[in-house]
Amino acid sequence: MTITITNIRRPNSDTPETLTIENGLIKGWNLPAEGETIDGNGATVAPALLELHAHLREPGQEVKEDLASGLAAAAAGGYGTVVCMPNTSPVIDDPALVRALIEKADALGFARLKPSAALTKGQQGKQLAELSLLREAGAVMFTDDGRTNEDARVLRLGLEYAHSLGMVVSVHAEDATLRADGVMNEGAVSEALGLPGNPAAAEAARVARDIEIAALTGARLHVQHLSTARALDLVRDAKARGVPVTCEVCPHHLTLTDEALRGFDPMFKVAPPLRTQVDAEHLLAGLLDGSVDCLATDHAPHTRAEKEQDMLHAPFGIPSIEVAFPLMWTQFGEVLGLERLLHLFTGGAARVMGWPEPTLDAGQPADLVLLDLDTARPVTPAEFRSKAKFSPWAGQELRGWPTLTVVGGRVAYRR
Amino acid sequence: MTAFSDTRPRHLLDFQGWSTERLTAILDNADTMLSVLDRPVRKVPALQGLTVCTVFFENSTRTRISFELAARRMSADVVSFAASSSSLSKGESLRDTIETLTAYKVDAFIVRHEASGAAHRVAQFSGKPTINAGDGRRAHPTQALLDAYTIRQEYGDLAGRNVTIIGDVRHSRVARSNTELLTRLGANVTLCGPATLLPRDLAGERVTLTTDARTAVKGAHTVMALRLQTERMDAGYLGSLPEYIQGYQVNEALMEHAEPGAIVLHPGPMNRDLEISADTADGPRSRILKQVENGQAVRMSVLYHLLVGRA
């Protein structure tokens, strides 16, 4: 099967070009048109985005999201590959389940699914899961995300075992005892609102501990959704010391702060919580100086009814996979530049996983996205492919919307 | 006719958007309402034809009765919704609950909820005038109004008066609302409690924080004891209840350090001989039952202000 995409531009180029795809691979640039021809309308072409942290809720919570809706949403957001989190029901700690999910996702034809699996059985933090069998089944990362790894010894063992398999362990780095019942960032805003706070120190303290364990074991540690300036400083220092640690930051921690909670709308209740403007600016600086390795969405869909509870009872998390790139491009495109931004969504994430950096060279897998960097369009949750049709950014005019996502040579999304 | 510097607020969720003049007018009107309570027939027709719904997601018989009597004394119909016996336990969302009640043509909501901000959500979902009867740690505006009213009744004015609030400030919506209202009305507020129950971020203009109770009550015209939930000890906030009593109980010995004639308040319900000694609670300084009586009048005034003359 052959597809020719005409009238597209590579990043930072004004020259319209043509790309030919054949049998799932890039055949080459500016060849004579053949097969199905798609007009790129002058959009910018890039390798498809790579998501390291999405909650697709299958199995067990399909009312919030399932593989079909989640991977379609990912494709609509420009993603070609999604690493999903294992905090499902049951937990993804069984090799047969990993196989079944991959098989099902392959048949859907949206974004590729690369499941992560639980580090410990049932994510209970007590006994290691069958890490080697899980890897064999196709799991690409181990994490107890959704839970924090309270037992440092178990994390050490998990890191050592995963390292022997050449795998990354990613952590939700937050001291659960210090977080306590916090539902938002602890500070002046939480005191004014009378809501229980989660101190920045809960994240920093845990990041410090986990960095020490990574240094002890020499194993690859990936810190998820960093939200505080202090924790980022710790990662930066650790990297300078040569500790094998990487980290990700989410668009919502860069674009929103705890001030958003003043309306008591649980839409803005996320874990870790929205922090202060100082933290957000510090994280942005981390994107610029390279101490943040990649952007990840922590796409966390819920039902509308769940989010319409009060601040104490509503669940943590927002859907964001469909708006991540437009949001970052609109808000920080000028500061970061297109190349770095794309790197944070693609190559940076690949490097975290130890995967080759994706390119659009001949012979490479045809996973690509066309981005309309200029046309402003509002965020319209009703049009989301995700089952979670709400958004903190609803109505906001953004640029940089994906117009076409191709995965393995197949059109996975087209606007 | 008083001129107000704010637009007429639709809800009483906290004091945001409420001008000091308007809050003062509510206190002034409470005098009239109090006189209604002294009549042989304690009922006026001001809210006739209107239906007020009390929605209590958190138990509080006293506050609910105070509001319900306030509404009934003004001839409103009153219906009650108690979360424990409701479909919330069957998983219905807050929004569905409130929208259903609104569809019954309720004219106003009075809400208590364990979560800060829940009253704001009710106001958004219903669109009807909503009174916050206490939400989480956030706000309890009518309690603050009745406290201010009680102090004003004693001293005539709040300007320059020193009010000390002692106890579990961290978890207290009463402390938060009182601090805001009393300082706006010209009082100085001192918040006092063990460091674990005293959030630093509440300090501000005319608001002092201290962990020393004797320092806190020095110069105080009013001392308010806050209810201490005994679970706080198990949660690690306190070493022991005897230790708390020794440091922070409002009793006669402590009141020796306050201004002569200083009065004692408590938002209730009281743990006698824990946060307040029984003899102080029952003694001549106590205005605790006065607060209860005033509460009804203040709530009548709030209902009148929010519901009468509203198109």
Q: Per-residue DSSP letters for A20-61?
A: EEETTEEEEESPPP-SEEEE-TTPEEEEPEEEEEE---TTT-
Tokens 């290691």 found at:
A128
- Pick the residue from chain B with its C-alpha nearest to A304: B93
- A109 in Cβ contact with A412 (< 8 Å): yes
Taking only the tens of pLDDT, chain A with its 415 residues reads 899 999 999 998 999 999 999 999 999 999 999 999 999 999 999 999 999 999 999 999 999 999 999 999 999 999 999 999 999 999 999 999 999 999 999 999 999 999 999 999 999 999 999 999 999 999 999 999 999 999 999 999 999 999 999 999 999 999 999 999 999 999 999 998 999 999 999 999 999 999 999 999 999 999 999 999 999 999 999 999 999 999 999 999 999 999 999 999 999 999 999 999 999 999 999 999 999 999 999 999 999 989 988 899 999 999 999 999 999 999 999 999 999 999 999 999 999 999 999 999 999 999 999 999 999 999 999 999 999 999 999 999 999 999 999 999 999 999 9
Up-side HSE of residue A237: CA atoms within 13 Å toward CB? 11
pTM of the entire predicted model: 0.90
B84 has pLDDT over 70: no
Look at residue B37 and tell me whether its pLDDT is greater than 60: yes
Which residues in B lie closer than 8 A to residue A193 (C-beta atoms)? 116-117, 138
The pLDDT of residue B200: 84
Residue B87 has pLDDT above 80, yes or no: no
Looking at residue A375, its pLDDT comes to 98
Q: How far is B168 from chain A (nearest CA, A)?
A: 13
Cα–Cα distance, A169 to B151 (Å, whole number): 60
Q: Which residues contact B168 (CB under 8 A, 6 or more apart)?
A: B193, B197, B226, B227, B228, B229, B232, B237
Residue A121: which residues within 8 A CB-CB, separation 6 or more?
A91, A93, A127, A128, A129
Task: For the beta carbon of residue A35, count every other beta carbon within 10 angstroms.
Answer: 13
Return the sign of the alpha-carbon dihedral for residues A308, A314, A320, A321.
negative
- Interchain proximity A187–B201, CB inside 8 Å: yes
**Where are any strands of DSSP class E within A123-234?**
141-143, 168-171, 184-185, 197-198, 221-223
Q: Please state, as a whole number, how many other Cβ atoms lie within 10 Å of the Cβ of residue B239.
A: 12
Confidence of residue B311 (pLDDT cuts 50, 70, 90): very low
Q: How far apart are CA A114 and CA A85, in angstroms?
A: 10
The vertex-A376 CA angle with A372 and A381, nearest 5°, equals 100
Q: At residue B228, what is the residue type?
A: L
Per CB-CB distance under 8 Å, the chain A contacts of B95 are 305, 308
Distance between CA A322 and CA A327 in Å, rounded? 9
- CA quadruple B81, B83, B88, B93: dihedral, nearest 10: 70
CA A299/CA A87 separation, integer angstroms: 13
Tokens at residue B27, please? 């206190």
The answer to whether the CB atoms of A193 and B96 lie below 8 A apart is no
Q: What would the mean pLDDT of B85-92 be, rounded to a whole number?
A: 58
Distance to chain B for A193, nearest Cα, Å: 5
A408 touches chain B (CB under 8 A): no
The pLDDT assigned to B85 comes to: 54
The pair of three-digit structure tokens given for residue A394, joined into one six-digit string: 């609803």
Dihedral over Cα of A331, A336, A337, A340: its sign: negative
User: Is B202 part of the contact surface with chain A (CB cutoff 8 Å)?
Assistant: yes
Instruction: Choose among B96, B117, B201: nearest Cβ to A310.
Output: B117
Which pLDDT value is given to residue B59? 83
Q: Residue written as tokens 């209107």?
A: B50
**Which pLDDT score is estimated for A1?**
87
Cβ neighbours of A305 (radius 10 Å): 15
Does A39 participate in catalysis according to the annotation?
Answer: no
| B112 has binding-site annotation | yes
Q: How far is A199 from chain B (nearest CA, A)?
A: 13
CA distances from A220 to A243, A281, B43 (A): 8, 27, 74
Q: Which of A181, A184, A185, A193 to mutate to test the interface with B (most CBs of B within 10 A)?
A: A193
pLDDT, average across residues B81-91: 65
- Full set of structural domains in chain A with CATH: 48-360 (3.20.20.140)
Of A195, A265, A306, the CB nearest to B136: A195
Is it the case that residue B226 has pLDDT exceeding 50?
Answer: yes
Please judge whether B117 and A308 are an interchain contact, meaning their C-beta atoms are less than 8 angstroms apart.
no
Q: Check CB contact of B139 with chain A, cutoff 8 Å.
A: yes
- Among A203, A87, A84, smallest CA distance to A144 is for A87
Q: Which residues of A are less than 8 Å from B125 in CB distance?
A: 308
Mean pLDDT value of segment B2-29:
93
Q: So what's the pLDDT on residue B199?
A: 87
Find where tokens 């008591």 sit.
A264
Contact check, Cβ <8 Å, A310/B121: yes
Residue numbers of A between 267 and 306 with CB closer than 8 Å to B? 305-306
Contact yes or no for B117 and A193 at CB 8 A: yes
Starting at the earlier edge strand, list the strands of the sheet with B130-135. B77-82, B51-56, B108-113, B130-135
CB contacts, 8 Å: B111 with chain A: none
Q: Is B96's Cβ below 8 Å from some Cβ in A?
A: yes
User: Could you give the C-alpha distances from B36 to A172, A215, B74, in angstroms and in order?
Assistant: 60, 75, 10
> Which two tokens mark A108?
């859907």
Distance CA B139, CA A339 (A): 49
Q: Do B138 and A308 touch (CB under 8 A)?
A: no
Q: What is this model's ipTM? A: 0.80
> Predicted confidence band at B83 (pLDDT cuts at 50, 70, 90)?
confident
How crowded is residue B279: how many other Cβ atoms within 10 Å of its Cβ?
13
Q: To the nearest whole angstrom, how far is the Cα of B173 from the nearest Cα of chain A?
A: 7
Say if residue B164 carries a ligand binding annotation: no
Task: Identify the pLDDT of residue B60.
Answer: 87
Contact status of B99 with chain A (Cβ, < 8 Å): no
Residue B227 DSSP class: P
Query: Is the CB of A308 less than 8 angstroms away from the CB of B94?
Result: yes
A194 to chain B nearest CA, in Å?
4
The reported pLDDT for the residue numbered B202 is: 85
pLDDT attached to residue B231: 85
Q: pLDDT at residue B95 above 90?
A: no
d(CA B234, CA B241): 10
| Residue B223 CB neighbours (<10 A) | 29
Query: Which of A193, A263, A308 is facing B116, going by the closest CB pair?
Result: A193
- The residue annotated as part of the active site, out of A298, A310, A361, A372, is A298
